[in-house]
């Protein structure tokens, strides 16, 4: 079991200006990653890091501390400004940088923030490297590393960061035109408020844009992918053919069809994987998904001659499996979707463009395309907790889970796990009888609330 004190499932995350997400942490992170890269690569020129952030008020504060840390060990900082997480991964590769740092708490509230890292290959760092970085941050091992004079790092702005990312995104759908396509877009007052509208409009779409006026505190506030009811409302009001809703850093999305019905990550995976199978571009005829994805995916892919490979929850584990097997499409039910032919991490814009390409090439509406996935009913609960004791120590909960699994008789499953980024525990029950699994979910939720709930 990991004993890491700072890094969670997606970098370092928490309330900004409170431990662990403080300027002091950002400074020590900058020193640690800058030192490691300089020591390992031994380049003739010094190490450089692309830094991007979302629209939170605390972003510039953490950015300044991070830059100071990098510069203090002789590494250069390349500032991309407000830009989606996947754009940082893209820029790292394009600029041959040593790595990248994203300052964002993704879908979390505005008071939160986070720090997540990318390597020189544009991929998130593995657990072992994060543990090494954490050790450097929490000890005095590199405190004496203090270059002076011309060996101190520099700071520069990437003035064409948005344009570079837009070019990459459009290159993923060569020749596609969106003339005559009406799109409703919810940018969550986040990092995509410039990039996604730019790309969609340059491709010819008619755009109804909402929640694209960030003020530092309204990111994800009653909007974005965590509030899908908002994009549903916008589609119905505007008569759009599709609705696109990002989270705060735009590494994921939720879609809405022309009727106002929400289309989740599993449905997007099914559509894009089947399309790739038909075109012969789904590597290994395999789609990578997590244990949280609906088992309807397995039946859907199997019927078309493909298969699903399951991983632990978290887009980083999906990407690790994709890299290990050289697979091309993977993602999560939550809307983290990875298309490795075009990018190295979850990218809400790339995913939306792939669906739009399928729509325009087939001439079929999204409400029809989504029907390729026949879902098993699922009951999901997210419960706030005051502590995270071992699950096997919750005897009443364990007994109810055993009882539920027995009643499903092999035709369903129960998953219970703690969130890696929030004080929550997440429950999923899947089975053929919707009423039955909801009753079971309510019983387990009540037991969890009594034991550890807030």
Q: Tell me the backbone φ, ψ of residue 74, rounded to 5 degrees.
A: 95, 15
- Alpha carbon dihedral 210, 212, 217, 223, in 10-degree steps, equals 30
Is residue 106 annotated as a catalytic residue, yes or no? Answer: yes
Kind and range of the H or E run holding 362: helix 348-362
What is the strand order of the sheet 378-384 is part of?
A: 378-384, 424-430, 413-418
Tokens of 215: 């003020």
* Other C-beta atoms lying within 10 Å of the C-beta of residue 15: 16
The residue from 72, 104, 106, 120 that is catalytic is 106
Residues 265 and 337: beta-carbon distance below 8 Å:
yes
- Alpha carbon dihedral 405, 411, 417, 419, in 10-degree steps, equals -150
CA–CA dist 373, 357 (Å, integer): 19
CA–CA dist 248, 85 (Å, integer): 9
Q: Tell me the backbone φ, ψ of residue 422, rounded to 5 degrees.
A: -140, 160
CA angle 80, 82, 86 (to 5 degrees): 75
Question: Which residues are known catalytic residues?
Answer: 106
């Amino acid at each position: 079991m990991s004993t890491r004190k700072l890094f969670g499932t997606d970098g370092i995350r928490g309330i900004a200006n409170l431990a662990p997400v403080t300027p002091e942490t950002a400074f020590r992170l900058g020193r640690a990653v800058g030192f490691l890269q300089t020591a390992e690569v031994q380049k003739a020129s010094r190490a450089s890091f692309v830094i991007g952030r979302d629209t939170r008020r605390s972003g510039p504060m953490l950015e300044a501390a991070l830059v100071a840390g990098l510069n203090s060990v002789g590494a250069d900082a390349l500032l991309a400004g407000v830009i989606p997480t996947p754009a940082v991964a893209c820029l790292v590769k394009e600029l041959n940088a040593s790595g990248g740092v994203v300052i964002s708490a993704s879908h979390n509230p505005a008071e939160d923030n986070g720090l997540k890292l990318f390597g020189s290959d544009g991929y998130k760092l593995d657990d072992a490297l994060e543990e090494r970085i954490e050790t450097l941050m929490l000890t005095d091992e590199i405190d004496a590393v203090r270059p002076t004079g011309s060996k101190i790092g520099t700071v520069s702005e990437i003035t064409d960061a948005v344009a570079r990312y837009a070019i990459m995104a459009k290159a993923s759908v060569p020749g596609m035109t969106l003339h005559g396509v009406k799109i409703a877009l919810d940018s969550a007052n986040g990092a995509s408020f410039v990039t996604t509208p730019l790309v969609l409009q340059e491709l010819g779409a008619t755009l109804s844009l909402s929640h694209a006026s960030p003020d530092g505190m309204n990111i994800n506030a009653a909007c974005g992918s965590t509030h899908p009811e908002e994009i549903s409302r916008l589609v119905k009001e505007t008569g759009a053919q599709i609705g696109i809703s990002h989270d705060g850093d735009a590494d994921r999305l939720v879609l809405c069809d022309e009727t106002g019905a929400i289309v989740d990550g599993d449905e997007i995976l099914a559509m894009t994987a089947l399309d790739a199978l038909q075109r012969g571009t789904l590597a290994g005829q395999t789609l990578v998904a997590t244990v949280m994805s609906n088992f309807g995916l397995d039946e859907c892919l199997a019927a078309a001659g493909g298969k699903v490979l399951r991983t632990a929850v978290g887009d980083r584990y999906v990407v690790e499996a994709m890299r290990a097997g050289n697979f091309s499409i993977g993602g999560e039910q939550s809307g983290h979707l990875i298309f490795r032919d075009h990018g190295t991490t979850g990218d809400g814009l790339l995913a939306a463009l792939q669906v739009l390409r399928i729509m325009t090439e087939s001439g079929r509406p999204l409400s029809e395309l989504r029907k390729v996935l026949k879902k098993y009913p699922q009951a999901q609960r997210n419960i706030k907790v005051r502590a995270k004791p071992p699950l096997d120590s919750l005897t009443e909960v364990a007994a109810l889970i055993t009882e539920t699994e027995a009643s499903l008789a092999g035709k369903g499953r129960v998953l219970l796990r703690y969130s890696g980024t929030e004080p929550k525990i997440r429950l999923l029950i899947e089975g053929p009888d919707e009423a039955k699994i909801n009753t079971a979910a309510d019983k387990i939720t009540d037991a969890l609330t009594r034991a550890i709930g807030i």
